[in-house]
Amino acid sequence: MDDFAPARTRRTFEVIGDQIREQVRGGTLKPGDKLPPERTLAEQFGTSRNAVREALRALEHAGLITLQKGAHGGAFITDGDPEAVAQSIEDLLHLGGVELTDITDARLLIETAIVEAVVARATGADLNRLEENIDAVEKLTRDENMDAKTDLNIGFHVLLGECTGNPVLILLMRILMDLLRQVHRPISAEDTAEVVASRRRFLARLRQRDAAGAADEMSQHLAHLHKLFAAG
């Protein structure tokens, strides 16, 4: 790892964070790497340990590092946590900066692209995993375990992202689904049955490699879910 340059600014912790981010972007620091101790970082940046500590806390909040205590603890570069991004968007949602309609629009745009990729790339095994998820949701149609149903319903869309094999699309879908989990509303057995029926129609289109038909079914499905969540 390269040494860091001294930080000269009133907001020293931001400069420290920017330099660490730059080394991550450049590949000098990789997931799992451990940063030097606070004392060493303070010497390299030419600043106080308090400023270093503040920078590390900000990077942890942003999901770039994890801070671990104990003899083998320290600051470690993370593998990338979509929940950190989802949390930031969730904060905007609660503050009024992001509306439920914004989430639905984003899902529609992203999942339409994902559907096209799935039609082109998904294997039979991939589609079978989607069908297993649908079967599991159907079995829980009248179950009162809302958490289990939520996990499966959200899991369907995560699986869809994974079917593309594209790490960026997978990450975007996980971020959106982590966010959706925060605004998800329990739905009735009747509505769950409709969701299952829609997903079976959608899966049939995927098996037929019908991108337009699958995208249309997904669009109707998301519009239906939006009405359910908005009504909740």
How do residues 46-68 score in pLDDT, each as one tens digit? 999 999 999 999 998 878 888 99
pLDDT of 7 above 60: no
pLDDT of 83 above 90: no
Q: Which whole-number Å values give the CA distances from 20 to 31, 45, 48, 129, 173, in the listed order? A: 13, 11, 16, 40, 27
CATH of region 83-231 = 1.20.120.530
Tens digit of each residue's pLDDT (9 = 90 or more) over 138-150: 888 766 677 788 8
pLDDT of 10 above 60: no
Establish whether domains 12-77 and 83-231 are of one fold. no
pLDDT in the model for residue 232: 56
What are the beta bridge partners of residue 75?
A: 67
> What residue ranges do the domains of the chain occupy?
12-77, 83-231
pLDDT of 167 above 70: yes
Residue 9 C-alpha from the chain's centroid: 34
CATH architecture of structural domain 12-77: Orthogonal Bundle (1.10)
